[in-house]
């Protein structure tokens, strides 16, 4: 069983104005592009989901979900993660009067198989008591919050019948734009080495065939 990269993103929580962050506004205030650049815009068919704006050079795409400016990576590697962090910093610099709350860097991994060889990470006396009471456990999770520099590293491990997910969320809360910009400036080498150290400590191997660490 190996973990593969899944759903990497950078998120900034603030009182974003959707009238400003139109597709053209995202091009200007998030991507830092000059006027007139063509961009791909994905419009939801349900009329409820946010539209998605793709950078003309590819690699990252942006959506505004109420108070969450989310920058997703098309290919999960640290090179694109750096681009996503820079885009989030640009948004905070270009819209300095927008009240901000927090910023997060999300590096997630998943496997289609349960973490059977690491069951000790999730099992507890609670499992024994539920099993003794004839209940069938179909999912387990474990959450830890670790101190990391000026913020936190939230670690979540979820195992269910569909597979396993390991979520590393580098989180900083602040109403000061400079604090959040600095947090988003975390070097990708620090992020990648921390993730490697964390997975090694949990004895969770990465998929050998992936080039996720190639941008280091």
In which band, very low, low, confident or very high, does the pLDDT at 114 lie, cut at 50, 70 and 90?
Answer: low
Determine the 3-state secondary structure of 14 from DSSP.
Answer: strand
Query: Is 121 within a domain?
Result: yes
Does 213 reside within a domain?
no
Domain that holds residue 153: 4-201
pLDDT of amino acid 28: 96
What span, in angstroms and rounded, lies between the C-alpha atoms of 86 and 94?
12
- So what's the pLDDT on residue 46? 78
Q: For residues 156 and 108, is the Cβ–Cβ distance under 8 A?
A: no
The rounded distance, in Å, linking the Cα atoms of 166 and 187 is: 21
**Predicted local distance difference test score (pLDDT) of residue 207:** 66
Q: Render the burial of 155-168: b for 16+ CB within 10 Å, e for the rest.
A: bebbbeeebbbbbb
* Predicted local distance difference test score (pLDDT) of residue 45: 81
CA dist 136 and 111 (Å) reads 22
pLDDT of residue 2: 76
pLDDT at 119 over 60: no
> Hey, what are 125's tokens?
């006396």
Please report the pLDDT score of residue 176 as a whole number: 97
Instruction: State mean pLDDT over 46-53.
Output: 84
pLDDT for res 118: 53
State the total domains in the chain: 1
- The answer to whether position 207 is within a domain reads no
Answer whether residue 99 is part of any domain: yes
Q: Is residue 211 part of a domain?
A: no
pLDDT per position as a tens digit, 139-175: 778 899 999 999 999 999 988 877 889 999 999 999 9
Mean per-residue pLDDT of the chain: 88
Report d(CA 83, CA 105) in Å as an integer: 12
Is 75 part of any domain?
Answer: yes
Is residue 163, in this structure, part of any structural domain at all?
Answer: yes
Q: Please indicate, yes or no, if residue 209 is contained in any of the structural domains.
A: no
Looking at residue 215, what is its pLDDT?
A: 39
Q: How far is CA 182 from CA 9, 28, 31, 101, in A?
A: 17, 21, 18, 14
Structure tokens at 150: 């000026």
């Amino acid at each position: 069983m190996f973990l593969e990269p899944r759903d990497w993103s950078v998120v900034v929580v603030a009182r974003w104005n959707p009238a400003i962050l139109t597709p053209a506004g995202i091009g200007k205030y998030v991507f830092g592009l000059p006027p007139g650049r063509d961009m791909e815009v994905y419009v939801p068919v349900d009329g409820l989901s946010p539209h998605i704006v793709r950078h003309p050079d590819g690699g990252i795409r942006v959506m505004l979900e109420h108070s969450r400016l989310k920058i997703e990576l098309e290919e999960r590697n640290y090179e694109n993660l750096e681009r996503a962090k820079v885009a989030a910093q640009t948004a905070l610099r270009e819209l300095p009067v927008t009240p901000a709350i927090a910023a997060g860097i999300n590096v997630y991994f998943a496997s289609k198989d349960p973490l059977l060889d690491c069951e000790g990470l999730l099992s507890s006396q609670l499992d024994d008591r539920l099993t003794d009471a004839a209940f069938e456990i179909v999912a387990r999770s474990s959450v830890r919050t670790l101190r990391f520099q000026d913020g936190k590293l939230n670690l979540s491990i979820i195992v269910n019948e569909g597979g396993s997910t390991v979520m590393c969320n580098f989180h900083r809360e602040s109403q000061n734009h400079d604090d959040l910009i600095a947090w988003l400036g975390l070097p990708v080498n620090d992020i990648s080495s921390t993730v490697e150290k964390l997975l090694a400590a949990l004895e969770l191997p990465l998929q050998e065939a992936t080039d996720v660490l190639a941008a280091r």
